[in-house]
Structure 1
Amino acid sequence: MARRHIQARERLLEAARDVVRAKGFSATSIDDLCRSAGVTKGAFFHHFRSKEDLGVEAARFWAETTSELFANAPYHQPADPFDRLIAYLEFRKLLLAGEVPEFTCLVGTMVQETYDSAPAIRQACDATITGHAMTLVPDIQAAMAACGVTGTTAESLALHTQAVLQGAFIMAKARGSAEIAADTIDHLIRYIRLLFNTPTPEEIRQ
């Protein structure tokens, strides 16, 4: 019985991850979530007090599952911290696969709709986005020290990368295509190379 309860909760969180990215938080009903998860409405209310409560937990679930993805990603492999930063952004481009709802950000989607109406969801989304940004800070700090970059902070640049990525997702939704998001990440890579005064591989070969 306990295991079935755990599975029902996880299925509802997975349903929120997929349905909200496809339809938006406001347009997603509890019935939609139950239908997608294959559970009853009674099971929903056994685990969550309300749709807002689910939204908070879905943000945390997103943080947990994506943290594992990024922790094991290949961008950590380069020895040089600047190379790891660029590899991170290249990895974000690789994630732009499938249809738009499949690669866009759950918490970015939710916070756009709920930042004023549901403070608890906003705070959970902020914690997720900011928490991920802060994982980049050690590499950025090391790269700044190695390249002599001043006038900004590693924390600020880390948050800027996430602002650009979230904006890229919005443009992808507007265009219905990943192409604009990939182009936006390329611009971010060029900006960071200019900031760190680091040539591209093509320039090095020349």
Structure 2
Amino acid sequence: MRTRDSAATRTKLLDAARDLIRGKGYAATTVDDICSAAGVTKGSFFHHFANKEQLGVAAIEHFGSMAEAFFANAPFKALPDPRDRVLGYVDFRAALLNGEIAQYTCLMGTSVQEVYATHPEIRAACDAGMSAHVAELERDIEEARRLYAPEAEWTSKSVGYFIQSVLQGAFIFVKAKQGPEVALESLAHLKRYLQTLFGMKADANLEEKTA
């Protein structure tokens, strides 16, 4: 029972850190904020984590595990054609751009922009998490490349990082504009570009469909 309660407390702290940091940023989120949001005492916090930075790393890893499971069970993953899975991934990300901004933007991207020069352990955790997501995308991209663009000089890895670069940039404009319109247009352009990479005619009406 104690082990189960301890694990539940740790998860509450990780979930609270995830949501608060996405909404306020790492520096503005205090240990007191996290404890209050999690409904636990400060003593419980320090039972699980030596300091906020250790929690920050753990929250990044926790977020990565949740994202991995979430995308593994997304509808596009069941599509038989790898090209459709790649394009479906973009559609799926576009469909997520609604509701509270902090609930659909990326904890890793939010954190690394702020702490890359001051908290190397958090930066490294963000790099590992985002790169792992790129590697997962890379499998479908490579399979699609072999089927539809076998003579292409670009690499699946580079396209995976490009997709994530567009997404992370789109999240920045979501925050700047306080809305998803620019992000949706950016993802529409991204999908058109991917269509041309895989030998398809780009859909000129994609922005209307995405929006």
Do they fold alike, i.e. is TM over 0.5?
yes
Contact 2:12 2:38 in 1 (8 A): yes
Distance 1:107 1:194 in 2: 29
1:6-155 to structure 2, matched below 5 A, reads 6-148=7-149, 149-155=151-157
* Cα distance change on mapping 1:96 and 1:117 into 2, 3 Å: same
Q: How far, CA to CA, are the matches of 1:132 and 1:202 in structure 2?
A: 29
TM-score normalized with structure 1 length: 0.94
Q: Which string of whole-angstrom CA distances, capped at 9 and with x for unpartnered residues, describes residues 47-103 of structure 1?
A: 011110001000100011111100110111222111110001100111112111111
SS in 2 for 1:199: coil
Contact 2:193 2:202 in 1 (8 A): no
After TM superposition, the structure 1 stretch with the greater mean CA deviation from structure 2, 140-149 or 103-112, is: 140-149
SS at 1:136 equivalent: helix
Question: Aligned partners of 2:81, 2:119: CA distance in 1, in Å?
Answer: 42
Note if contact 2:196-2:202 (Cα within 8 Å) is conserved in structure 1.
no
Q: How many residues align?
A: 203
Unaligned runs of 5+ in 2: 206-211
Q: In the alignment, residue 193 of structure 2 is paired with which amino acid?
A: Y
1:159 aligns to 2:161 (yes or no):
yes
Amino acid at match of 1:93: A
SS of residue matched to 1:135: helix
The alignment yields a C-alpha RMSD, in angstroms, of: 1.4
Aligned partner letter, 1:2 = T
**Contact 2:170 2:183 (8 Å CA) reproduced:** yes
Report the residue type matching 1:60 in the other structure. Answer: E
Alignment partner, residue 190 of structure 1: 192
Report the Cα distance in structure 1 between the residues aligned to 2:84 and 2:4, rounded to whole angstroms. Answer: 44
The reply on whether 1:177 has 2:179 as its aligned counterpart is yes
Question: What does the per-residue CA deviation read over 1:10-68, in whole Å, with 9 as the maximum and x for residues that have no partner?
Answer: 00000011111110011000000000000011111110111100010001000111111
Report the secondary structure of 2:129's partner residue.
helix
TM superposition outliers: structure 1 runs of 4+ over 6 Å: none
Letter in 2 for 1:163: S
What's 2:5 paired with?
4
Deviation at 1:2, TM superposition (A): 2.1
Letter of the aligned partner of 1:49 in structure 2?
Answer: A
TM-score computed with the length of structure 2 as normaliser: 0.92
Task: Report the Cα distance in structure 1 between the residues aligned to 2:16 and 2:190, rounded to whole angstroms.
Answer: 32
Alpha carbons of structure 1 residues 188 and 86: separation in structure 2 relative to 1, 3 Å? same
